[in-house]
Amino acid sequence: MGYFHFVLLFIEYISVFRWIKSHFSAFIWVILAFFIGTVRGSHKAKIGEVGLAHRGILFFDELPHFSKSVLEALREPLQDNKIHISRVNAKVEYPSDFLFVAAMNPCPCGNLLHAHKECRCSELDIVRYKNRLSDPFLDRIDLCVVMQQVAPSDTSSISSRQMHEKILEVYRMVKQRGQKSFTAKLSDAEIDKFCVLSAEAKAVLDMAVHKFALSFRSIKKIQKVARTIADLRAGDVIEKGDILEALSYRRR
């Protein structure tokens, strides 16, 4: 059920009625040099790819290979859903409410977690590779999932139709609960109102905060992810298992 939850969580984080029609803004890192205006736009304060991805999907393949300046500049739109462009002759604010999806290998050669291929990277190579992503940047990622190697016998546990029906069911629950926005976009006050934890769930979250030194931002994201997991099982209150699963999606 973990992968099923992962897919549903991603889809729930954007409007069910808009995301299929929204544009898919994708990057390949080797052409990054040609996109100087990726985040901040051109020298004339024109909109860049991040602004163009508003209400759509922004996909970064080979995430660690993007320049540090581009990755760090993403912190603002990921946090505030808007981006400011300042030039000598203009200051412009663009909306940038998008779904950010990224992919990366576990190591430079890509074989670190492979069952049969041997990793050719040194420990130092792997550390340098992972260190290209800063903690503040990763802290803004809601879900981190390690994809396992595909086997010929693997089959889907749920059909697209069943998934669609489940998404609509959760959507109706969100509306009936009185939420005016999707769970991923809840404010701190709304989190306190809608993301109610059981005593056991609160104890687990408090323990995780001390054990993993979670930031305030991380705590709120865990609560929102746990709220969606609880919705998937039609639960009114976030239980211990919901928090544990939400914690499993944090970066490691």
The CATH number for 89's domain is 3.40.50
Whether residue 7 is found in the same domain as residue 113: yes
Within-domain flag for 152: no
- Token couple for 123: 């420990």
Confidence of residue 45 (pLDDT cuts 50, 70, 90): low
Query: What are the structure tokens assigned to 15, written together?
Result: 């409007």
Task: Please check whether residue 170 is in contact with residue 231, taking contact to mean a CB–CB distance below 8 angstroms.
Answer: yes
Tell whether 196 is covered by a domain.
Answer: yes
**Are residues 164 and 133 located together in one domain of the fold?**
no
Q: How many domains does the chain have?
A: 2
**Do residues 17 and 131 share a domain?**
yes
- Domain CATH code at residue 216: 1.10.8
Gap between the Cα atoms of 242 and 2, Å rounded? 11
The verdict on residue 145 lying in a domain is: no
User: Does one domain contain both 114 and 23?
Assistant: yes
Which has more confidence, 21 or 80? 80
pLDDT digits (tens, 9 = 90+) for 198-217: 999 999 999 999 999 999 99
Q: Which of 75, 104, 138 is the last residue of a domain?
A: 138
pLDDT tens digits along 13-22:
434 334 434 4
Same domain for 164 and 121: no
Task: Write out the residue range of the structural domain in which residue 124 sits.
Answer: 2-138
Phi, psi of 101 (to 5 degrees): -125, 135
Query: Is 249:3 a contact under the CB 8 Å cutoff?
Result: no
Residue 147: inside a domain: no
The CA-atom distances, in angstroms, between 130 and each of 58, 60, 62, 78, 172 are: 21, 16, 12, 20, 40
Assess whether 126 and 188 both reside in one domain.
Answer: no
Average pLDDT score over residue span 141-157:
87
CA angle 48, 220, 81 (to 5 degrees): 15
Rg (CA), the chain: 19
| Candidate from 27-31, 63-67, 152-156, 224-228 with smallest mean pLDDT | 27-31
Domain boundary, last residue among 79, 105, 138: 138
| DSSP-based three-state secondary structure for 95 | strand
DSSP-derived 3-state class of residue 215 = coil
132 and 7 within one domain = yes
> pLDDT averaged over the chain?
83
pLDDT at 80 over 60: yes
**Domain presence at residue 165:** yes
Would 215 be classed as within a structural domain?
yes
- The answer to whether residue 153 is domain-embedded is no
Q: What is the mean pLDDT of residues 65-77?
A: 90
Distance of CA 226 to the CA centre of its chain: 14
Do 165 and 133 share a structural domain? no
Would 92 be classed as within a structural domain?
Answer: yes
147 CB-near residues (< 8 Å, 6+ apart):
none
Highest mean pLDDT among 21-25, 111-115, 144-148, 226-230: 226-230
CB 111 within 8 A of CB 31: no
Encode 67-89 in three state secondary structure: CHHHHHHCHHHHHHCEEEEEECC
Same domain, 26 and 106: yes
Both 129 and 222 in one domain: the answer is: no
pLDDT at position 51, please? 82
H/E segment holding residue 100: strand 99-102
> For strand 99-102 and strand 90-95, is the pairing parallel, antiparallel, or unpaired?
unpaired
Residues 126 and 215 reside in one and the same domain: no
Based on the fold, state whether residues 70 and 131 are members of the same structural domain. Answer: yes
